[in-house]
Amino acid sequence: MRPLRPTRLLSLESGLWALDETQPVAAVLDLRTGKVERIVSWPEVPAEPVPTPWPPPRLLPDGPSFWTHPHGDAPLVRIGPDGVELAVWTHGLRLSAVGPDGVWCVPSPPPQDIVRTADGRPSWGLQPAQLLHVGRGGRPRRTNVDAPVRAAQAEESGFFIALDDEPWHLEPLGADLHEVVWNTRWFRIPWGAEIGDELRDVAEPVEHGPEVRTEDGRGTHSWLDPWSAGADRHGVRLEGARWGFGWRADGMAAAAGHLVALVHNAEGNPLRRIDLGRGTTTSAALVGTGPAERLTVAVRRDVPGVLRAPVDVLTVQRGGDVSLLLGADSVDVADHVRPLAPRPLESGSYVRQVLASNGRLQEHWRTDEGFFPLVEGMTAVRARLVGDWPDTVLEWTFEHPDRPGARLRRRIPLFDESGRITPPDTAAVVLMEDFQTGQVPGTEHAVGGFIDF
């Protein structure tokens, strides 16, 4: 069995799509009852690169379907209840917006331009760029703009884009460094406009750009920041209020990983907090309309010692009542996942190098006064490799006076589910941060003398 781990939610006309965190598969739930109506997969779409880019690829609703673009070398695809409906080559342009007449793709924003003197000049000028419009039937049409694209967004009245423009100025960053900041000019392309070779033929200058939105569609989020406790960052609007998510801050050690939904009014004032249990929220979506409108939330239940954390999908009613919509491990998608990739030729060399470079946590920090351990007080540190490809993990164990009589254990997968190399470049720092923020179970949770965290 390979259980669905739905960490992204989309509310579409065809149902509530609960998309798996790594595999190209989703369970589609009835919007009224929550019953799983079908399993949809798209294994022919190229997998995302490793390490996985952040933020994840956008998921933009389009009626009963959605558009996504895994990465620059992958096709732009529209996925519906029967799988892939359209696939378009974009030549590196990224999915930006969906409208009544199709999809717009734009280039990535220009990289940050840093100069080292107060009288420095831009490293590059206003280079022209291309946009791609894909019509409803999949017909692609490229058009030119005369400057880099800084931002883009779909609105009811059309597609808005922001282009760099003269004049520019230098913004001090400190340490004698300055960032080149260009002026911005906004344009609107009405939906249904006939797209030609030059965008200026149909683009209308506007004085101001639209209000920046983080939602995709009806308040649906393709990802959420679990640290977001305020009403102004990555929230979801429901019944005139903005819902955000965060971990309880009262008694950090006791409440580590304890998730709450935070409800604020239009002015940003807190209204109430709703307990969602221990875990991390990864996505939220609105379901239903009118008085029946409700919030669905995907919550990853981080279980000590479990490498692939199970995920619950919860329903939160307007009044704050919480119920389980889709339980962890309740949907088997083993028949819909990508096959295991060939074993990497360098896998043996890779794991040996990882072990060698991560084998001395007791001498992790180097200063003029000598070497210091990754976590103050850790002793009897041991690092080893456990398991064979693709299930090889790096295992650290150590003792600490805060957990007498037990050894602490952290396991890090060295390959992803498809068998591809996933270097644990930040694993040591994450271990340190988890320890210092109290996210370590007490000794009463030790099993066989080990505390997994």
What is the rounded CA–CA span in Å between residue 223 and residue 29?
19
- pLDDT of 251: 45
User: Residues 236, 243: contact at Cβ < 8 Å?
Assistant: yes
Residue 145, C-beta contacts closer than 8 angstroms, at least 6 positions apart: 128, 129, 130, 131, 161, 163, 199, 200
User: Residues 400, 214: contact at Cβ < 8 Å?
Assistant: no
pLDDT digits (tens, 9 = 90+) for 133-155: 999 999 999 999 999 999 999 99
User: Residues 145, 131: contact at Cβ < 8 Å?
Assistant: yes
- pLDDT of 65: 97
- pLDDT beneath 50: ranges in the chain: 217-234, 251-255
User: Residues 365, 372: contact at Cβ < 8 Å?
Assistant: yes
pLDDT digits (tens, 9 = 90+) for 275-314: 898 888 888 888 887 777 888 999 999 887 788 899 999 9
Minimal CA–CA distance to 147: which of 112, 106, 115, 113? 106
- pLDDT of 218: 46
User: Residues 107, 130: contact at Cβ < 8 Å?
Assistant: yes
What is the rounded CA–CA span in Å between residue 241 and residue 211?
18
Residue 197: HSE in the Cβ half-sphere, 13 Å Cα cutoff: 0
Minimal CA–CA distance to 232: which of 266, 276, 258, 201? 266
Cα-to-chain-centroid distance, residue 405:
38
- pLDDT of 240: 63
What is the rounded CA–CA span in Å between residue 159 and residue 223?
23
DSSP strand pairing (450-452 vs 407-413): parallel
**CA separation, residue 7 to residues 25, 236, 280, 297 (Å):** 11, 16, 10, 9
DSSP strand pairing (294-300 vs 280-287): antiparallel
What is the rounded CA–CA span in Å between residue 186 and residue 149?
10
**CA separation, residue 205 to residues 150, 156, 197, 209, 212 (Å):** 15, 17, 18, 10, 18
CA–CA–CA angle 166, 170, 173 (5° rounding):
145
- pLDDT of 79: 97
- pLDDT of 224: 47
What is the DSSP-derived secondary structure letter of residue 401? Answer: T
Cα-to-chain-centroid distance, residue 19:
12
